[in-house]
């Protein structure tokens, strides 16, 4: 049975104590998971969220991003060290939440562009730093860290599934997997089928799903029937997280370039997206 979830950023940019009611809303809409973006691991209300999620019966996934000051592929070793430190803090948050998946651009600062292709040094820095974080996680829990290939306008480091698989293998800890995002895939992959098969069930952690314009699935260019046929073929059983953003957000709009609404509210977006995806999935059965 397909496990559907939705991202907290359909409702709020910086999830905190004020947003605990979103968990109940998400569950009432028929979702099994919520993906919560962690704005600051030092102030994140882990205990309250864990208690509320357990009370409601909804499973948690978290996502995070690195900044210019914590960029683990920066030439400055002090910045890379800070990046490893904050990754360990994100890991601790997930352990406190009893959460099993941490995803996102965990390999570089989101939006960091050097103006040239990835170098061997940058690759090795990313491998070394994430390996340290992954071993830290492995020693404490069964947490999966899922790296997200993103489009060329948001990163130059990981754009396609094939490279992400190599990255996972080079790290070699067994708990680094891949977060595939259909919005990024439609810009960078030659084939949804080949990209998903390249990851295989072994390396796929979970999915972020939306249309090519970040809109409601089924209203744009994404080959959804191919998508569903392929994940069923490889017997993928992780969550599919519906993700989009509100154009009124302040920090993330400069990176995501969301300039128009795709629904009147986050709730409407979530409802219509779930209905559409279930209809597409039913069609191929």
Q: What CATH number should be reported for the domain holding residue 16?
A: 3.20.20.150
In the prediction, which pLDDT does 246 show? Answer: 83
Average pLDDT over residues 121-147: 98
What's the token pair of residue 157?
């480091």
In the chain, % of residues over pLDDT 90: 93
Distance CA 3, CA 13 (A): 24
Q: Nearest CA to 197 among 145, 160, 170?
A: 160
Question: Number of structural domains, the chain?
Answer: 1
Higher pLDDT, residue 114 or 251: 114
pLDDT at residue 161 greater than cutoff 80: yes
User: 53-62, pLDDT tens digit by residue?
Assistant: 999 999 999 9
pTM of the model as a whole: 0.97
In the prediction, which pLDDT does 265 show? Answer: 94
Q: What is the DSSP letter of 222?
A: -
Could you list the beta-strand ranges (E) of 228-279. Answer: 239-242
What's the token pair of residue 220?
């744009």
In the prediction, which pLDDT does 148 show? Answer: 98
Average pLDDT over residues 11-40: 97
Comparing 97-111, 132-146, 195-209, 245-259, which segment has the lowest mean pLDDT? 245-259
Comparing 91-105, 124-138, 238-252, which segment has the lowest mean pLDDT? 238-252
User: 74-121, pLDDT tens digit by residue?
Assistant: 999 999 999 999 999 999 999 999 999 999 999 999 999 999 999 999
pLDDT at residue 249 greater than cutoff 90: no
Domain that holds residue 181: 3-284
């Amino acid at each position: 049975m397909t496990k559907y979830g939705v991202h907290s950023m359909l409702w709020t940019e910086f999830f905190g104590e004020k947003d605990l009611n979103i968990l109940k809303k998400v569950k009432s809409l028929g979702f099994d998971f919520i993906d919560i973006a962690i704005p600051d691991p030092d102030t994140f209300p882990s205990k309250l969220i864990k208690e509320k999620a357990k009370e409601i019966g909804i499973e948690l996934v978290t996502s995070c991003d690195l900044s210019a000051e914590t960029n683990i592929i920066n030439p400055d070793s002090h910045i890379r060290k800070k990046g490893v430190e904050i990754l360990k803090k994100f890991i601790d948050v997930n352990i406190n939440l009893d959460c099993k998946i941490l995803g996102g651009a965990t390999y570089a600062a989101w939006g960091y562009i050097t103006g040239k292709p990835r170098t061997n040094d940058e690759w090795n820095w990313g491998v070394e730093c994430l390996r340290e974080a992954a071993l830290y996680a492995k020693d404490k829990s069964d947490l999966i860290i899922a790296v997200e290939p993103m489009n060329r306008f948001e990163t130059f480091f990981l754009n396609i599934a094939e490279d992400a698989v190599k990255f996972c293998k080079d790290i070699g800890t067994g708990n680094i997997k891949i977060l595939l995002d259909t919005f990024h895939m439609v810009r960078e992959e030659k084939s949804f089928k080949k990209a998903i098969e390249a990851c295989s069930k072994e390396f796929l952690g979970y999915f972020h799903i939306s249309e090519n314009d970040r809109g409601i699935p089924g209203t744009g260019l994404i080959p959804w029937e191919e998508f569903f046929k392929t994940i069923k073929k490889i017997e993928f059983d992780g969550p599919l997280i519906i993700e989009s953003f509100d154009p009124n957000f302040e920090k993330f709009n400069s990176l995501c370039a969301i300039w128009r609404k795709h629904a009147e509210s986050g709730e409407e977006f979530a409802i219509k997206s779930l209905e559409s995806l279930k209809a597409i999935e039913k069609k191929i059965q």
